[in-house]
Amino acid sequence: MFDFTSRPGTSAQVQLTPDGRLRHFIDIDGLSQALLEEILDIADSFLGVQQGEVKKVPLLRGKTVANLFFENSTRTRATFELAAKRLSADVLNLDIQTSSTAKGETLLDTLQNLEAMQANAFVVRHSDSGAAHFIASQVTPRVAIINAGDGRHAHPTQAMLDMLTIRRHKGEFAPLKVAIIGDILHSRVARSQILALNILGAAEVRVIAPRTLLPVNVEALGCRVFTQLQEGLEDVDVVIALRLQKERMDGALLPTESEFYRYYGLTQESLAWAHPEAIVMHPGPINRGVEIESAVADGPRSVILDQVTNGIAIRMAVLSMAVSGQTRQRMQASA
């Protein structure tokens, strides 16, 4: 079974410049509370840009961002593209299925050719854990690597857009109890969320899942484990439902989807066990009637569409910090 706490070599040293600025964004692991809060603060400022009549700023004018998606994606790819364009960057979307890699060209040859085109950042989504870290070890120092999800390992920008959503709706992290429900075993999102919540000081992080969908040593990341939905949801402030990742499952880990929904589906009835003011989140795509009821996904406590909006701002923040060296102090000075 996959060890959820395994770390394929990523460290803060790889992601940061000698003076502590963001160079790559590969993993939440090892980053400081101050840096995560800086990402959130800069993203907050970009939310104001998104609400304006002119939604562009010139921070990455003359820069090129290449999206390298070796896995299918809708929200992540679209929001990264929008984020780069709103920063005034040129955007190159590489269609892996029709690129030269499909003709036998190696990944390193592809990277070198993109570097020769003067790309300044690679946004990488890959099915192999550690792929973004490997690419970061191969590129020239002037290229920033942003991890858009690698295997079961990490999805740091998704975690940060979730943190931004939580902060905007709930304020401080310190008093919060957060529950993550569903396919924890295969979820890079869950791992990144748990790490981020702990770094930002959440009072308690819970994971709720059947034993077959719980990773080895998940408690080591800093969470409490529950196998009963009612017990896990009791009085929590934030509820995050995860998709069943059937494409990553080896073997029969669940009897049926209807069985999972019966015991772990987030419904109006089960949501009543959480705090009365609890918010509901989901990283998408949503499988209605499998992990969440439509009445909950579309209900007054759902902030799922806010997550999508906040995703653009977070990705603008990360790109501007990694590519142009943007910091909170520079943003305040230019305001």
Binding-site positions for carbamoyl phosphate: 75-76, 125, 155, 158, 284-285
List of E strands, the chain: 64-69, 90-94, 121-126, 144-150, 177-181, 204-208, 224-226, 238-241, 279-281
Residue bearing tokens 């990360």: 318
Structure tokens at 121: 């950042």
Alpha-carbon span 16 to 32, nearest angstrom: 11
Identify the three-state secondary structure at position 331.
helix
Nearest to 114 by CA among 88, 78, 138, 147: 138
What is the DSSP track for 155-174? -HHHHHHHHHHHHHHH--ST
Alpha-carbon span 248 to 151, nearest angstrom: 9
**Amino acid found at 184:** I
Alpha-carbon dihedral 32, 35, 36, 38, rounded to 10 degrees: 160
Alpha-carbon span 306 to 140, nearest angstrom: 36
Q: Give 225's strand partners.
A: 207
Residue bearing tokens 């840096």: 35
Alpha-carbon span 326 to 212, nearest angstrom: 43
Q: Annotated binding residues for L-aspartate, as ranges? A: 103, 188, 243
Q: Annotated binding residues, as ranges? A: 75-76, 103, 125, 155, 158, 188, 243, 284-285
Q: Give 65's strand partners.
A: 91, 121
